[in-house]
Chains A and B, each alone.
Chain A
């Protein structure tokens, strides 16, 4: 028994180290260029399928892979329509990986580990080392899975284990439940399938029960995705629910089909598996593959339609709309004047996001909305920086246009700093709201700074001299300092901790006032809109 536990632990250890190595090295490889390449490569849905295969191979968990994709969606790297083929590919390849695992891949894994391990240890830095490290991680992942599979085999010979399994023998629905629970708990449908194959090989489960465990594992993965995505909205929810529906639809068709086949003798999935192989493990792997591939083939041509349906049921949030470029899409590459104007228009939209952040800070200080707005700001900001970079790379600008571009770059930098200050201010105000005076300070600070921001927005939009003069007047006085001093006066009823929090919040306010004033001057220098 000790040997089984030790082998299982060794396998899991190798698996997790492999995953860590893979993740760390992929992070080293992911620069702006790679992110742009990913966006280009996934524009073709067929390439999306292949990406899905890569994702599930790396993560070994459909739920984990789904959330990585949601992260990329929220980072603005991918759109829903690009992600859906990736999810389909992910589901299909999850089945193929199981097919691969029933063959002895140790030899391939050992070659992979040997070659990449030597490269990894010899190279000191750079892309080659990171690529070798990532490949070494993949090798460790598979070695870990293989070790786990080997380790569990002797379990079948243990009398107590046989008796426990025997108690469930014959119940297909229990098999479905076991697969569902194990997949939910381990967060890896693939890991459950490895165990399932081991149990089937050891004769602990019948092929019917193992098939039901496989179906249950899919449902468990969907349940996990559903639970983890409960607080998501908009496009993120669209992606999560596609993955949930994909497996639920498969189970709704195939679970009743299994009962029909068993009780009526009508040849369906089990018969199909048996027709291709005598080996039970191969039959299971094949049925598991079909569970994923058949719905995948049916769904793939309908991606645009499904995408529209998901958008109707889980509509894009206001924050997501704000995070998407509105003007840069129309950018004319031949006309730098026009390109600069479109960049200016997108920058005004960044200011609007800051305005929405102040709205979110009022009352209960909606941290979730603020976080979404922050993500949206970063996403739009990345697009603007990309456009600025493209403009300077593609055109030889006149000195006047370079000056204008420089002005916009400075404004861009200040807007990004302002967003950081807004997020920090929000965190400080949340801490302050527990105290009476802190509550009042939060209220006056949010509305006071928001009034300056609204005037700054007028300057950015309309560039009138009057607005610019008003903004200069609003930001030149040290009213904030006077208010801060009054709150921190000795007789004010605040403890030391609250005073420090208020001081920090007031500092963020002062920096914001300065930034808005400075950007107002920059817009004045840029001239008319």
Chain B
């Protein structure tokens, strides 16, 4: 899995590509953790290049959201493809995480 980051104003955009599953979730989790430790507490994870997110992948997103909970930070997710959106729908992640159609929509949101 390839992960790139870009700072746009106060938000750190994390762009992932590949599948976010059991094999790739550990390095992805480590990357998100290190970003938070470096003081980047407003994260936007863009999943446009991600083909599938397994339960292990969902778990690292949830862990990141929990870590930011109670701080002034935030986690946003954007650009889900159809399959990933279905996993989010079934798991109820659409209800508990801030999910946006596009990166632009997410950045515009307060």
Contact = CB atoms under 8 A, between A and B. Distances in A.
Interface of A: 358, 440, 443-455, 466, 470, 473-477, 479-480, 482-483, 486, 509, 513
A477 B59 CA distance: 18
Interface in B67-110: 69, 83, 86-96
B95 A477 contact: yes
A483 B89 contact: yes
B58 A447 contact: yes
Contacts, number: 77
Contacts of B55: 358, 446-448, 450-451, 453-454
B95 A454 contact: no
Interface centre among A448, A454, A455 (most CB of B within 10 A): A448
Contacts of B87: 444, 447-448, 451
Contact of B92 (A358, A446, A447, A452): A452
B53 to A, nearest CB: 7
24 contacts: A358-B55, A445-B90, A446-B55, A447-B58, A448-B86, A448-B89, A451-B58, A451-B62, A451-B91, A453-B55, A455-B62, A466-B66, A470-B66, A474-B96, A475-B92, A477-B92, A477-B95, A479-B90, A479-B94, A480-B90, A482-B89, A483-B90, A513-B90, A513-B92
Contacts of B96: 470, 473-474
Nearest to A480: B90
Contacts of A446: 55
B34 interface: no
Given A443-B52, A450-B55, A470 B89 contact: no
B58 A476 contact: no
A483 B86 contact: yes
Contacts of B24: none
B14 to A, nearest CB: 20
Contact of A444 (B90, B92, B95): B90
B90 to A, nearest CB: 3
B95 A452 contact: no
6 closest cross-chain pairs (CB), A and B: A448-B90, A474-B92, A479-B89, A450-B55, A451-B91, A451-B58
Interface bracket on B: 20 to 34
Given A443-B52, A455-B62, A466-B69, A476 B86 contact: no
Contacts of A450: 54-55
A156 B44 CA distance: 90
A463 to B, nearest CB: 15
A464 B58 CA distance: 19
Given A452-B92, A473-B92, A473-B95, 5 more contacts: A448-B88, A451-B59, A476-B95, A480-B89, A513-B90
Contacts of B89: 448, 479-480, 482-483
A440 B82 CA distance: 11
Contacts of B86: 440, 444, 448, 483, 486
B91 A448 contact: yes
Contacts of A486: 86
A476 B91 contact: no
A400 B109 CA distance: 48
A483 B59 CA distance: 21
A358 B59 CA distance: 15
B52 A449 contact: no
Nearest to B96: A473
B91 A479 contact: yes
Contacts of A479: 88-92, 94-95
Give the residue among B66, B69, B91, B96 with the most A Cβ atoms within 10 A.
Answer: B91
A130 B98 CA distance: 65
A475 B54 CA distance: 18
A440 B51 CA distance: 12
A58 B96 CA distance: 60
A450 B90 CA distance: 10
Nearest to A358: B55
Interface in B36-60: 52-55, 58-59
A452 B69 contact: no
Nearest to A479: B89
Interface in B12-50: none
A11 to B, nearest CB: 59
Contacts of A451: 55, 58-59, 62, 87, 91, 93
Contacts of A444: 83, 86-87, 90
A476 B92 CA distance: 8
A88 to B, nearest CB: 45
A475 B94 CA distance: 11
Contacts of B66: 466, 470
Nearest to B69: A466
Contacts of A452: 91-92
Given A447-B55, A451-B55, A479-B95, A470 B90 contact: no
A311 B93 CA distance: 44
A114 to B, nearest CB: 65
